Amino acid sequence: MKIVWIFLFAFVTSITAVYGATRAAVNVLEATETIRYLSQKITKNYIYLYANPKKTSLVYGEIKKDITKMVESIRTISMTTNDEYTKNVLEFLTYSKDQIEDLIKKSPTKERAALMLDYSETLLEGANSIAKEHSYDFSESEKMLMTGKSIEYLIERATKYYMALSIGLSSDVNKKQMAESIKELVKKISIIDNYNKYPNPLIQNRIKLKTSWRLIDNLFKKKIKLTNIMVLSTNQMEDIVQKFIIYHRKNQ
């Protein structure tokens, strides 16, 4: 009987350890997705501010809040893992974040907007590197959660390049990156569209998501850049996507 209890204790302990490790990995991966998203959003808003200088107080407030959220995500990763490689990459992320903070203390210029594009890519590269280090086989709900987070990131990334093109940063690289982001975004929206386990309220929300995307997709295709409408439309789409993210976070 004693042997049975020892076996059961060992089994429960091993299951608990596996669950704890998995939960930690999910926390790290969610934090990296948040960094990916914010790296694009902050830069998009900075370029938007350069194009619309009358919105200074509103946009600066948003940028500062997002930098605070980025710091929280970096801290979450730091507190969740002792992996040496990850710790080194976090230092790199913190440095890039500091450079962005220095840039937003100065008046936006086209040259500084180009620098912001560069720093957003270094933050993205670092977050991708950490995510790769902590990847594992997701459950179905975790995959859907990450799909929602990816949609948030991709819409900000595509819009970042839309803003860059609107102020004359129209290199072939920027055009290519925008096109690739849109292509990947369509794939992610398709995953949401084909998921067959949503309750009725989210099915209705899915219809809203597709309608919202059609409007935004048309804006991407227009030669005239309508930056104000694009920002309002992408904010609305992200509000819709949040409902899917919350649902899948609750149902893990």
Local mean pLDDT, 10-residue blocks, the chain (252 residues):
49 40 75 95 95 82 94 94 92 94 92 96 95 86 93 97 96 96 98 96 96 96 92 96 94 78
Residue range 1-136, CATH number: 1.20.120.230
pLDDT at position 53 is: 87
Instruction: Write down the pTM of the prediction.
Output: 0.88
Label residue 168 left, alpha or beta by phi (over 0 means left) and psi (-120 to 50 means alpha): left
Backbone angles phi, psi at 52, to 5 degrees: -135, 70
pLDDT at position 136 is: 79
What tokens were used for 35?
A: 């960094």
Structural class in CATH, domain 138-252: mainly alpha
C-alpha 73/C-alpha 89 separation (Å) is: 13
The DSSP call for residue 106 is S
Domain range list for the chain: 1-136, 138-252
C-alpha 183/C-alpha 161 separation (Å) is: 14
| Residues whose CB is less than 8 angstroms from the CB of residue 173 and which lie 6 or more positions away in sequence, other chains included | none
What is the chain's Cα-based Rg?
Answer: 20
Same fold, 1-136 and 138-252: yes
